Amino acid sequence: MAERNLLIVEDTHQDVRFKANPLVTGAPYIRFYAGAPLINPDGVALGSICVIDRKPHELDARQREALMALAGQAIAQLELRRSNRDLAKALLEQQAALDQIRRLQSLLPMCSYCRRVRDEREEWRTIEEYIEHLGEVRLSHGICPTCYAAAAKEFAEANVRPSFLVRPPPVAD
């Protein structure tokens, strides 16, 4: 819609633009049309809000202002919906970014050589010290079946009996 002002056709039978329109010559047999353009803040005409009747009419100044106010309200509602959609999208993006930050915060810097970890005070601790420092966690030590097999092999080759030799726990089926 290129027009930026009200379009008022008091009698469609007398207007060349409307005379042959199927909505004038057939149902709903429009005789009166008043339309206000819906123009967004960027200046884009989105359409119009209109009033129609089956009888010819005139609009007084108060009615014209009311139609323009209605057009303004329609644009405001459309803009509100667009803003809400944009805010919802921004919120989802922000939540995704926060999730990423949480994942990154859960990364624990560990020395590749000695396997100590750096805590929040930038101090390097053994992993056991770090875990116990976090809360009510107490660690006990054992040996997993893989390490047990490797250690047993080393001690067998050295012909020494390890003092830590214990039976590995049964492997669950």
Tell me the CATH number at 12.
3.30.450.40
Residue 32 lies in a domain: yes
Is 88 a residue whose pLDDT tops 90? yes
Judge residue 43's burial from the number of C-beta atoms within 10 Å of its C-beta, 0-12 exposed, 13-18 middle, 19 or more buried. exposed
Which range, 105-109, 114-118, 141-145, has the best average confidence (pLDDT)?
A: 114-118
CA distance 48 to 70: 10
Residue 21 lies in a domain: yes
**25-34, 80-89, 107-116: the lowest-pLDDT one:** 107-116
- Using alpha carbons, list the distances in angstroms from residue 85 to 78, 92, 96, 137: 11, 11, 17, 45
Is 164 a residue whose pLDDT tops 60? no
Residue 162 lies in a domain: no
99/47: higher pLDDT: 47
Q: Which residue has the tokens 């056991």?
A: 128
Residue 126 lies in a domain: no
Position 2 scores a pLDDT of 36
pLDDT in tens, 114-125: 888 888 788 898
Mean pLDDT to the nearest integer, 131-137 = 74
Counted domains in the chain: 1
Q: What share of the chain is helix, strand, coil (3-state, %, to 5)?
A: 45, 15, 45
Structure tokens at 38: 């819906």
CB 111 within 8 A of CB 123: no
Mean pLDDT to the nearest integer, 57-70 = 94
Diameter over CA atoms, the chain: 115
Position 1 scores a pLDDT of 37
Residue 64 lies in a domain: yes
Residue 152 lies in a domain: no
Q: pTM for the whole thing?
A: 0.53
153/165: higher pLDDT: 153
Residue 154 lies in a domain: no
Position 3 scores a pLDDT of 41
CA distance 103 to 101: 5
Residue 173 lies in a domain: no
70 contact partners, CB below 8 Å, separation of at least 6: 36, 49
- Using alpha carbons, list the distances in angstroms from residue 109 to 97, 104, 128: 21, 11, 14
Strand partners, 23: none
Host domain of residue 76: 7-82
